[in-house]
Amino acid sequence: MSNIRKGLKALLAATAMAVVAASAASASAQTLKVVMHSDLKIIDPIWTTAYIVRNHGYLIYDTLFSMDEKLDVKPQMVDKWDVSADKLTYSFTLRDGLEWHDGKPVTTADVIASIKRWGAKDSMGQKLMSFTKELKAVDAKTFQLVLNEPYGLVLMSLGKPSSNVPFMMPKAVADGDPNTQLSDTTGSGPFIFKKDEWKPGEKVVYVKNPKYKPRAEAANGLSGGKVAKLDRVEWIAMADLQTAVNALSTGEIDMIEVPPHDLLPVLAKDRNVKLFDANPFGNQYTFRFNTLQKPFDDPKVRQAVAYAFNQKDFLDAVIGDAKYYKECKAMFVCGSPLESTKGWDDKLGSNYAKAKELLAAAKYDGTPIVLMQSTDLGVLTNLAPVAKSHLEKAGFKVDMQAMDWQTLVARRAKKDPANAGGWHAFLTSWVSADILNPVMAGFFNSACDKAMFGWPCDEQMEKLRDQFSRETDAAKQKAIAEAAQVRASEFLTHIHLGQWYQPVAMRNNIDGMLSAPVTLFWNITKK
Amino acid sequence: MLDFIARRLIAIVPVLGLVAVFVFLMLRLTPGDPAAVIAGDNATNEQIAAIRAQLGLDEPLLKQFVIWIGKVLQGDFGESYFFKKTVASLILQRVEPTLALSLCAIVFAVSVAVPLGVIAAYKHGSLIDRGVMAFSVVGFSMPVFVIGYLLIYVFAIELELLPVQGYRRFGEDVGLFFRHIALPSVTVSVIYIALIARITRTSVLEVMNEDYIRTARAKGLSDVVVLMRHALRNAAVPILTVIGLGIAVLIGGAVVTESVYGLPGLGRLTVEAVLSRDYPTLQAVILLFSGIYVFINLAIDIGYTLLDPRIRY
| Domain final position from B44, B73, B102 | B73
Q: Which residues of A touch B272 (CB under 8 A)?
A: 39, 201, 239
pLDDT at position B33 is: 85
Sorting pLDDT into bands at 50, 70 and 90, what band is B209?
confident
Please identify among residues 15-44 of chain B the ones whose CB lies closer than 8 Å to any CB of chain A: 31-33, 36-44
CB atoms within 10 A of CB B172: 9
Please judge whether A239 and B271 are an interchain contact, meaning their C-beta atoms are less than 8 angstroms apart. yes
Q: Are residues B203 and B274 in the same domain?
A: yes
Q: Which residues of B touch A163 (CB under 8 A)?
A: 40, 42
Highest mean predicted confidence (pLDDT) among A3-12, B184-193, B221-230: B184-193
Q: Are residues B69 and B138 in the same domain?
A: no
Mutate to test the interface with A, among B164, B176, B263, B275 (most CBs of A within 10 A): B164
If you measure CA to CA, which chain A residue comes closest to B47? A121
| Domain final position from B41, B73, B105 | B73
- Give the phi and the psi of residue A170 in degrees, each rounded to 5: -60, 150
Arithmetic mean of pLDDT, A2-10: 48
Say whether the peptide bond before residue A295 is cis (omega within 30 degrees of 0): yes
The closest alpha carbon to A412, from B41, B104, B65, B146, belongs to B41
pLDDT at position B54 is: 86
Using the predicted structure, report yes or no on whether residue A59 has a pLDDT greater than 80.
Answer: yes
In angstroms, what is the C-alpha Rg of chain B? Answer: 24
Q: Are residues B17 and B149 in the same domain?
A: no
Please judge whether A179 and B261 are an interchain contact, meaning their C-beta atoms are less than 8 angstroms apart. no
- Interface ipTM: 0.77
Q: Are residues B195 and B243 in the same domain?
A: yes
Q: How far is A243 from chain B (nearest CA, A)?
A: 6
pLDDT at position A376 is: 84
Option in A42, A123, A403 nearest B44 (CB): A123
Q: Are residues B179 and B255 in the same domain?
A: yes
A506's enclosing H/E stretch is: strand A504-507
Using the predicted structure, report yes or no on whether residue A409 has a pLDDT greater than 90.
Answer: no
CA-to-CA distance for A159 and A64, rounded, in angstroms?
Answer: 7
- In single-letter form, the type of residue at position B101 comes to L
Q: What is the CATH number of the domain that holds B253?
A: 1.10.3720.10
Least confident stretch, A144-158, A345-359, A504-518, B231-245? B231-245
Q: Which residues of A touch B153 (CB under 8 A)?
A: 246
Using the predicted structure, report yes or no on whether residue A2 has a pLDDT greater than 60.
Answer: no
**Residue B296 belongs to a domain:** yes
Q: What is the number of helices (H) and of strands (E) in chain B?
A: 13, 0
Q: Are residues B147 and B235 in the same domain?
A: yes
Q: Are residues B48 and B131 in the same domain?
A: no
Least confident stretch, A37-51, A297-311, A344-358, A374-388? A37-51
**Residue B87 belongs to a domain:** no
Structural domain including B194 reads: 93-312
Please judge whether B166 and A242 are an interchain contact, meaning their C-beta atoms are less than 8 angstroms apart. no
Using the predicted structure, report yes or no on whether residue A13 has a pLDDT greater than 80.
Answer: no
Please judge whether A180 and B54 are an interchain contact, meaning their C-beta atoms are less than 8 angstroms apart. yes
Please judge whether A413 and B33 are an interchain contact, meaning their C-beta atoms are less than 8 angstroms apart. yes
Q: Compute the mean pLDDT over every residue in chain A, rounded to the nearest whole number.
A: 92
**Residue B239 belongs to a domain:** yes
- Give the phi and the psi of residue A32 in degrees, each rounded to 5: -105, 120
DSSP three-state, residue A430? strand
- Give the phi and the psi of residue A345 in degrees, each rounded to 5: -60, -35
Q: Is A116 exposed, middle or buried (0-12, 13-18, 19+ CB in 10 A)?
A: middle
Least confident stretch, A361-365, B85-89, B174-178? B85-89
Please judge whether B262 and A236 are an interchain contact, meaning their C-beta atoms are less than 8 angstroms apart. yes
| Per-residue CA distances from A421 to A372, A401, A411, A417 (Å) | 11, 11, 7, 7
| pLDDT tens profile A186-214 | 999 999 999 999 988 889 999 999 999 99
Arithmetic mean of pLDDT, A371-398: 95
Option in A244, A249, A413 nearest B48 (CB): A413
pLDDT at position B309 is: 74
pLDDT at position B252 is: 67
Sorting pLDDT into bands at 50, 70 and 90, what band is B292?
confident
The closest alpha carbon to A123, from A428, A437, A440, belongs to A440
CA-to-CA distance for B17 and B65, rounded, in angstroms?
Answer: 12
Q: A386-400: string of b/e by CB count within 10 Å (b at 16+)?
A: bbbebbeebbbebeb
**Residue B81 belongs to a domain:** no
Q: Which residues fall within 8 angstroms of residue B256, CB to CB, at 6 or more apart? A: B143, B144, B145, B148, B267
| pLDDT tens profile B66-104 | 999 999 999 899 999 887 789 999 999 899 999 999 999
Q: B60-96: string of b/e by CB count within 10 Å (b at 16+)?
A: eeeebbeebeeebeeeebbbbbbbbbbbeebbebbeb
Q: Are residues B7 and B139 in the same domain?
A: no
- Per cent of chain A over pLDDT 70 is 94
Please judge whether B261 and A246 are an interchain contact, meaning their C-beta atoms are less than 8 angstroms apart. no
The number of domains in chain B is: 2
**Residue B85 belongs to a domain:** no
Quick one: CA dihedral B97, B102, B103, B107, positive or negative? positive
Q: Are residues B187 and B50 in the same domain?
A: no
**Residue B82 belongs to a domain:** no
If you measure CA to CA, which chain B residue comes closest to A408? B32
**Residue B140 belongs to a domain:** yes
Which neighbouring-strand residues pair with A90?
A83, A145
Strand spans (E) along A148-254: 191-193, 203-208, 232-236
Q: Which residues of A touch B271 (CB under 8 A)?
A: 239
Using the predicted structure, report yes or no on whether residue A378 has a pLDDT greater than 90.
Answer: no
Using the predicted structure, report yes or no on whether residue A7 has a pLDDT greater than 60.
Answer: no
Q: How far is A168 from chain B (nearest CA, A)?
A: 20
| pLDDT tens profile A21-38 | 444 444 446 999 999 998
Q: Compute the mean pLDDT over every residue in chain B, rounded to the nearest whole number.
A: 88
| pLDDT tens profile A128-182 | 999 999 999 999 999 999 999 999 999 999 999 998 999 999 999 999 888 788 8
**Residue B108 belongs to a domain:** yes
Using the predicted structure, report yes or no on whether residue B27 has a pLDDT greater than 60.
Answer: yes
pLDDT at position A370 is: 97
Q: Are residues B29 and B169 in the same domain?
A: no
Sorting pLDDT into bands at 50, 70 and 90, what band is B3?
confident
Q: Are residues B64 and B107 in the same domain?
A: no
Q: Are residues B148 and B277 in the same domain?
A: yes
- Give the phi and the psi of residue A239 in degrees, each rounded to 5: -75, -30
Arithmetic mean of pLDDT, A401-425: 89
| pLDDT tens profile B159-173 | 999 999 999 999 989
Strand spans (E) along A182-306: 191-193, 203-208, 232-236, 255-256, 273-276, 283-289
| Domain final position from B73, B103, B126 | B73
Sorting pLDDT into bands at 50, 70 and 90, what band is B313?
low
